[in-house]
Chain A
Amino acid sequence: MGYWNEIVARFQLPQENYAGGSRISIFDDVGVYIEGHKGMVSFEPETIEVRLPKKRLIIKGEKMRIASINRYEIYIVGKILSVGREE
């Protein structure tokens, strides 16, 4: 955790103030929204791996596709079975 992020955590500031981190939102089992990604690692309808600043995010599901992607965010839709991280 960086110095700035520690300040944010200690003073319980809104999480948007985290610097250099990423944010993952899961919408039930139909979508995953990722902010602050660093690119794709693999893309299959059953498994999608996304590179985050310090780790990789592994999303498992069925008939998954990328609804939209740009430099900062990805929105993945499909039947989401699990979302995990790999150091």
Chain B
Amino acid sequence: MEKTKLKTESPPVFVINALNSAGVCMKKIIKDGKKLTFEINRKEKPAAIQTMEKRNISYSILSERGIKTDARRLLMRVGMWAGIIIGLALIFLYSASLLRIRVIGNNRVDEAKILEAAGVNPPILFASPDLDKIEKRLVALEGVSGASVVRKGTTLEITVLEELPDTEIIDTKTPAPLVAAEDCVITRIVATQGTAVVKAGDTVKKGDILIAAYITDSEGNQVPVRAMGEADGMVYYQRHAFYSHRMIAKVRTGAKEEKTVMEIPGLSYQKPSSFVSYDTETKVILCSNILPFKLIKTTYYETREQETDFNYEALRLRLIEENLEMLKASVPKGGRFVNWWYLEKRLDKNTILSIYYQMERAVAVRP
């Protein structure tokens, strides 16, 4: 409903009766002091104005409301239209751009090689890569038997079908012994072909022969064979860490500076800090779900080196745990965990922490 709100300071009864007799329907008639405000239907506005001008009633239009009026008012808003146009342009730009590549199905072929062969480096504005050519380049890659390239929105999805690995041919004829892979104490040895030269409980070094490549016939002659069998051994891994009672630590000087950067996928530009030595704290200020932008604020705290006391006793449990984790990470995979322990040797100026990790594992390998 289109409505017009008017104001007049003429005698209210005169105005109401004049408009009423002219057939104008009035609404929300309010008298406030000398002022009279009322609303009329927009269709009746010409008749109302004509009546008021004919009767010398002074009036002013306060506001006009309604779908058409509001739409007309919106049409006049340049800023809003500029915003809509910019928004549409950004959406078009975003949808026409290629922002990332996703590679699926590669286990042995390096992703970097696939991306290099694809020859597309996002982000690219108004990208329309030739998908057939990319597929052909990928199929020509060593280790790739098939490839499909599909564009999904702003992402280029590359699905790779890899060639089957070469069949491993196991030599069972050529005479060769089995040797120890690591320093260990043998716990079990079974020779299915060849002659076991060590027994359970023996200590061996890495490279020592466990199953020799011969068998002895009934006449005492050594007949060359390819040694085959299994051997398990108790292996001990160790790690030593030295902790001085004085240490150089980085402490904050109190000076800091903040830098804010807009991060766009594919474009990572970090403003350098003016400090020589610093700590950083990073915080994401703005993150949009629609557009791939992030506003990141990085705070740089200037630091300097300072010699301080190192309290080993206060940190020992954490240090033991950290060293154990590092030792476990360096241990080859496979085998059965048996035990772990640690030793601490406290000296005048430092402390030596030794971690030991015991495992039982297969140790027989071909030299």
Contact = CB atoms under 8 A, between A and B. Distances in A.
Interface of A: 39-45, 65-71
B25 A69 contact: yes
B31 A39 contact: no
B28 interface: yes
Nearest to B32: A45
A43 B20 contact: no
Contacts of B25: 68-70
A32 to B, nearest CB: 14
B16 interface: yes
Contacts of A44: 31
A84 B244 CA distance: 104
B13 A40 contact: yes
Given A65-B30, A71-B21, 17 more contacts: A39-B17, A39-B20, A39-B21, A41-B13, A43-B12, A43-B13, A43-B16, A43-B29, A65-B31, A66-B16, A67-B27, A68-B28, A69-B27, A70-B23, A70-B26, A71-B20, A71-B23
Contacts of B26: 66, 68-70
23 contacts: A39-B20, A39-B21, A40-B12, A40-B20, A41-B13, A43-B12, A43-B13, A43-B31, A45-B31, A65-B31, A66-B16, A66-B26, A66-B28, A67-B27, A67-B28, A67-B29, A68-B25, A68-B26, A68-B28, A69-B25, A70-B25, A70-B26, A71-B20
A66 B31 CA distance: 9
B85 to A, nearest CB: 43
Interface residues of B, number: 15
B31 A68 contact: no
Nearest to B33: A45
Nearest to A75: B27
Contacts of A70: 20, 23, 25-26
Nearest to B37: A65
Contacts of B38: 66
Contacts of B20: 39-40, 69-71
A40 B31 contact: no
A70 to B, nearest CB: 4
Interface of B: 12-13, 16-17, 20-21, 23, 25-31, 38
B341 to A, nearest CB: 89
Contacts of A43: 12-13, 16, 29, 31
A6 B27 CA distance: 36
A69 B29 contact: yes
Nearest to B11: A43
A26 B61 CA distance: 33
B329 to A, nearest CB: 81
B3 to A, nearest CB: 12
Contacts of A71: 20-21, 23
Nearest to A37: B20
Among the interface residues A40, A45, A67, which one has the most CB atoms of the partner chain B within 10 A?
A40
A65 B28 contact: yes
B30 A42 contact: no
A40 B16 contact: yes
A69 B31 contact: no
A43 B15 CA distance: 11
Contact of A68 (B12, B23, B27, B30): B27
B161 to A, nearest CB: 77
A43 B12 CA distance: 7
Contacts of A67: 27-29
A49 B28 CA distance: 17
A65 B29 contact: yes
B282 to A, nearest CB: 60
Contacts of A42: 13
Contacts of A40: 12-13, 16-17, 20
